Amino acid sequence: MKLYRIKKSKIDNKGRGLYATKDIKEGTKIINYTGKIITNKEVDRSDKYDNGKPIYLFTLNNKYTLDGDFPWNTAGLINHSCDPNSQYDGKGLKIWITAIKNIKKGEEFTCDYGFSFDKDYRQFPCKCGAKNCCGYIVREESRWRINKKFAMSNKKRLIKNSR
Ligand SMILES: [Zn+2]
Protein backbone atom coordinates (compact mmCIF):
# COMPACT_ATOMS: atom_id res chain seq x y z
CA MET A 1 0.00 0.00 0.00
CA LYS A 2 1.24 3.45 -0.85
CA LEU A 3 1.81 5.75 2.11
CA TYR A 4 0.32 8.72 0.28
CA ARG A 5 -2.61 9.71 -1.80
CA ILE A 6 -3.18 12.78 -3.95
CA LYS A 7 -5.89 15.16 -2.81
CA LYS A 8 -6.80 18.81 -3.13
CA SER A 9 -4.43 20.64 -0.80
CA LYS A 10 -5.50 22.46 2.33
CA ILE A 11 -2.45 24.70 2.06
CA ASP A 12 -2.40 25.46 -1.65
CA ASN A 13 -6.00 26.30 -2.55
CA LYS A 14 -5.45 25.92 -6.24
CA GLY A 15 -3.24 22.90 -6.09
CA ARG A 16 -3.00 19.39 -4.89
CA GLY A 17 -1.04 17.82 -2.09
CA LEU A 18 -0.06 14.43 -0.76
CA TYR A 19 -1.84 12.97 2.25
CA ALA A 20 -0.92 10.12 4.57
CA THR A 21 -2.97 6.96 4.00
CA LYS A 22 -2.05 5.62 7.45
CA ASP A 23 -0.17 6.58 10.59
CA ILE A 24 3.50 7.01 9.75
CA LYS A 25 6.47 6.90 12.13
CA GLU A 26 9.20 9.50 12.15
CA GLY A 27 12.04 8.43 9.88
CA THR A 28 9.85 6.56 7.39
CA LYS A 29 10.67 6.98 3.73
CA ILE A 30 7.46 8.17 2.06
CA ILE A 31 8.10 8.59 -1.64
CA ASN A 32 10.95 8.99 -4.10
CA TYR A 33 11.48 12.41 -5.60
CA THR A 34 11.98 11.61 -9.26
CA GLY A 35 13.07 13.70 -12.19
CA LYS A 36 15.76 14.18 -14.71
CA ILE A 37 19.43 14.40 -13.83
CA ILE A 38 21.04 17.33 -15.56
CA THR A 39 24.44 18.90 -15.24
CA ASN A 40 24.89 22.04 -13.21
CA LYS A 41 26.15 23.66 -16.39
CA GLU A 42 22.80 22.99 -18.04
CA VAL A 43 21.06 24.72 -15.15
CA ASP A 44 23.26 27.76 -15.69
CA ARG A 45 22.63 27.79 -19.41
CA SER A 46 18.92 26.99 -19.69
CA ASP A 47 16.20 29.65 -19.83
CA LYS A 48 13.89 27.27 -18.00
CA TYR A 49 15.66 28.01 -14.74
CA ASP A 50 15.98 31.74 -15.21
CA ASN A 51 12.67 32.84 -13.80
CA GLY A 52 11.23 32.25 -10.41
CA LYS A 53 12.60 29.99 -7.77
CA PRO A 54 14.19 26.68 -8.59
CA ILE A 55 11.77 24.85 -6.35
CA TYR A 56 12.10 21.61 -8.26
CA LEU A 57 15.86 21.72 -8.49
CA PHE A 58 18.12 19.84 -6.14
CA THR A 59 21.87 20.15 -6.43
CA LEU A 60 23.12 16.57 -6.03
CA ASN A 61 26.83 17.31 -6.07
CA ASN A 62 29.25 19.68 -7.74
CA LYS A 63 28.37 18.23 -11.13
CA TYR A 64 24.74 17.20 -11.19
CA THR A 65 21.31 18.60 -10.37
CA LEU A 66 17.97 16.81 -10.21
CA ASP A 67 15.16 18.60 -12.00
CA GLY A 68 11.85 17.34 -10.60
CA ASP A 69 9.63 19.60 -12.68
CA PHE A 70 7.74 16.78 -14.41
CA PRO A 71 4.09 15.72 -14.11
CA TRP A 72 5.15 12.19 -13.16
CA ASN A 73 7.11 13.39 -10.17
CA THR A 74 4.30 12.89 -7.64
CA ALA A 75 6.54 14.07 -4.79
CA GLY A 76 6.64 17.47 -6.48
CA LEU A 77 3.06 17.98 -5.25
CA ILE A 78 4.20 18.20 -1.64
CA ASN A 79 3.61 21.71 -0.35
CA HIS A 80 5.83 23.93 1.75
CA SER A 81 5.16 24.51 5.42
CA CYS A 82 7.00 26.65 7.97
CA ASP A 83 6.45 23.74 10.37
CA PRO A 84 6.95 20.74 8.08
CA ASN A 85 6.41 17.10 8.98
CA SER A 86 8.77 15.78 6.28
CA GLN A 87 12.04 16.62 4.61
CA TYR A 88 14.00 16.00 1.43
CA ASP A 89 16.64 13.36 1.93
CA GLY A 90 19.20 12.07 -0.47
CA LYS A 91 22.17 9.88 -1.16
CA GLY A 92 24.20 9.76 -4.33
CA LEU A 93 21.89 10.72 -7.16
CA LYS A 94 18.67 9.75 -5.35
CA ILE A 95 16.28 11.99 -3.46
CA TRP A 96 13.28 10.98 -1.40
CA ILE A 97 10.94 12.35 1.22
CA THR A 98 11.34 11.23 4.85
CA ALA A 99 8.92 11.84 7.73
CA ILE A 100 10.59 13.99 10.41
CA LYS A 101 7.66 13.62 12.81
CA ASN A 102 5.08 10.97 13.54
CA ILE A 103 2.37 11.70 11.00
CA LYS A 104 -1.28 10.77 11.46
CA LYS A 105 -3.44 9.21 8.79
CA GLY A 106 -5.09 11.96 6.76
CA GLU A 107 -2.43 14.61 7.43
CA GLU A 108 -0.93 16.48 4.51
CA PHE A 109 2.78 15.92 3.95
CA THR A 110 4.81 19.13 4.02
CA CYS A 111 8.46 20.04 3.54
CA ASP A 112 10.57 23.16 3.93
CA TYR A 113 11.24 24.29 0.35
CA GLY A 114 14.45 25.90 1.50
CA PHE A 115 14.09 29.10 -0.51
CA SER A 116 16.79 31.56 0.28
CA PHE A 117 15.83 35.04 1.34
CA ASP A 118 16.10 37.60 -1.45
CA LYS A 119 14.30 40.59 -2.88
CA ASP A 120 11.67 38.39 -4.52
CA TYR A 121 10.41 36.72 -1.37
CA ARG A 122 7.07 38.52 -1.57
CA GLN A 123 6.24 36.57 -4.74
CA PHE A 124 5.86 33.45 -2.67
CA PRO A 125 3.36 33.95 0.11
CA CYS A 126 2.91 31.03 2.49
CA LYS A 127 -0.49 29.92 3.70
CA CYS A 128 0.63 26.88 5.65
CA GLY A 129 -1.27 27.97 8.76
CA ALA A 130 1.50 26.92 11.15
CA LYS A 131 1.86 28.94 14.36
CA ASN A 132 5.36 29.97 13.34
CA CYS A 133 4.40 30.85 9.74
CA CYS A 134 6.35 33.90 8.63
CA GLY A 135 3.92 34.57 5.75
CA TYR A 136 6.35 33.73 2.99
CA ILE A 137 8.06 30.65 1.65
CA VAL A 138 11.57 31.11 2.95
CA ARG A 139 13.92 28.55 4.44
CA GLU A 140 13.95 28.28 8.20
CA GLU A 141 17.42 29.75 8.68
CA SER A 142 16.41 32.91 6.81
CA ARG A 143 12.99 33.55 8.33
CA TRP A 144 14.36 35.81 11.03
CA ARG A 145 15.05 38.34 8.30
CA ILE A 146 11.38 38.51 7.55
CA ASN A 147 10.35 38.46 11.17
CA LYS A 148 12.78 41.26 11.84
CA LYS A 149 11.24 43.18 8.98
CA PHE A 150 7.78 42.62 10.37
CA ALA A 151 8.99 43.70 13.78
CA MET A 152 10.40 46.91 12.31
CA SER A 153 7.28 47.86 10.41
CA ASN A 154 5.16 47.16 13.50
CA LYS A 155 7.37 49.47 15.50
CA LYS A 156 6.97 52.23 12.96
CA ARG A 157 3.23 51.77 13.03
CA LEU A 158 3.22 52.00 16.80
CA ILE A 159 5.22 55.21 16.76
CA LYS A 160 2.87 56.67 14.20
CA ASN A 161 -0.18 55.70 16.23
CA SER A 162 1.16 57.16 19.42
CA ARG A 163 1.59 60.60 17.93
ZN1 LIG B 1 4.09 29.19 6.41
Percentage of the residues of the chain whose pLDDT score is greater than 70: 87
- Please name each of the domains of the chain with its CATH number: 4-162 (2.170.270.10)
- Whether the predicted model's global pTM rises above the 0.75 cut: yes
Provide the CA 103 distance to its chain's centre, in angstroms. 17
CA distances 69 to 51, 74, 75, 137, 161, Å, are 14, 10, 10, 18, 47
Helix (H, G, I), strand (E, B) or coil at 33: strand
Bridge partners, residue 125, by sequence: 136
The CA 137 to ligand 1 mean position distance, Å, reads: 6
The CA 12 to ligand 1 mean position distance, Å, reads: 11
The CA 16 to ligand 1 mean position distance, Å, reads: 17
Please say if the pLDDT value at position 156 is more than 80: no
**Backbone dihedral region of 121: left (phi > 0), alpha (psi from -120 to 50 degrees) or beta?**
alpha
